[in-house]
Amino acid sequence: MGKRDNRVAYINPIAAARARGPVQGSGPTIQDYLSRPRPTWEELKEQLEKKKKGSRALADFEDKMNERWRKELAKNREKMLGGSEKDKEEKKDKKEKKKKEKKKSSRHSSSSSSSSSSDSSSSSSSESDDEDEKKTVKKKRKRKKSSSRRASDSSEDESDAESKKRKRIKEEGDRDKDEKSRRGKRKAERSYKGSSSESSADSDDDEAVEAKKKKRSSEEKEKFTVRHFTSFPISRQSANKILWAEQ
């Protein structure tokens, strides 16, 4: 049996698009945007002037509103001030009425007070005496309090002075102790230095004595050898050898 033909037809998309022709676009093209109607210079000036007029209208509206608010504030101030003045007048009237009533009551009471004036005078004199006694007692109490305060203040001052003196004495004693300790340390250091110097001097003296002794012994040996070998005829080389051997 023969094979099936599975081949598929191939179409070039670019060639197919060219064959279809230009596609009708739904939106505006670039040419439409470039050829759009543009305003002239005069039309632009008119638009700018209209914008400025709009801003002026807004400013005028704000000025009108401010004037209204000012008028309302002035009215409210007048009301408040007028109310306060009225309250003051009412208070004055009330005070005057009270004064008139007091005068009337004092006139009525003057007639009754004449009869009781003698009694009141005696009572007033006794009251005045009582008040004088009270004042004298109060003065005495004040004097006692002031004297007690002064005494307490003086005692406090004395205690402060004593405490200060004690502190000074303690400080002076501490200073004396510190000075004594310093002096003792200095003396100990000086004595230690003197002893060390004396020991070094003694050691130097001992060394010098030993050196002198060695010199004397060496000189005595030389003298002895010279005397011993002068009695016998020996050459100098042999004498030196003998000396080296003895040493």
Please report the pLDDT score of residue 43 as a whole number. Answer: 92
Global pTM value: 0.21
**Domain coordinates in residue numbering, the chain:** 42-101
**Distance, C-alpha 57 to centroid of its chain:** 57
- Which residue numbers in the chain have pLDDT < 50? 232-233
Please report the pLDDT score of residue 110 as a whole number. Answer: 65
Q: Report yes or no: 88 and 95 within 8 Å, Cβ to Cβ.
A: no
Please report the pLDDT score of residue 235 as a whole number. Answer: 57
Please report the pLDDT score of residue 42 as a whole number. Answer: 93
Give pLDDT tens digits for 156-210: 777 788 888 888 888 888 888 888 888 888 888 887 776 666 566 666 677 888 8
3-class DSSP state of 73: helix
Residue environment code for 43-66, b if the CB has 16+ CB neighbours within 10 A, otherwise e: eeeeeeeeeeeeeeeeeeeeeeee
* The one-letter amino acid at 132: D
Please report the pLDDT score of residue 96 as a whole number. Answer: 86
With a CB cutoff of 8 Å and minimum separation 6, the contacts of 242 are 225, 229
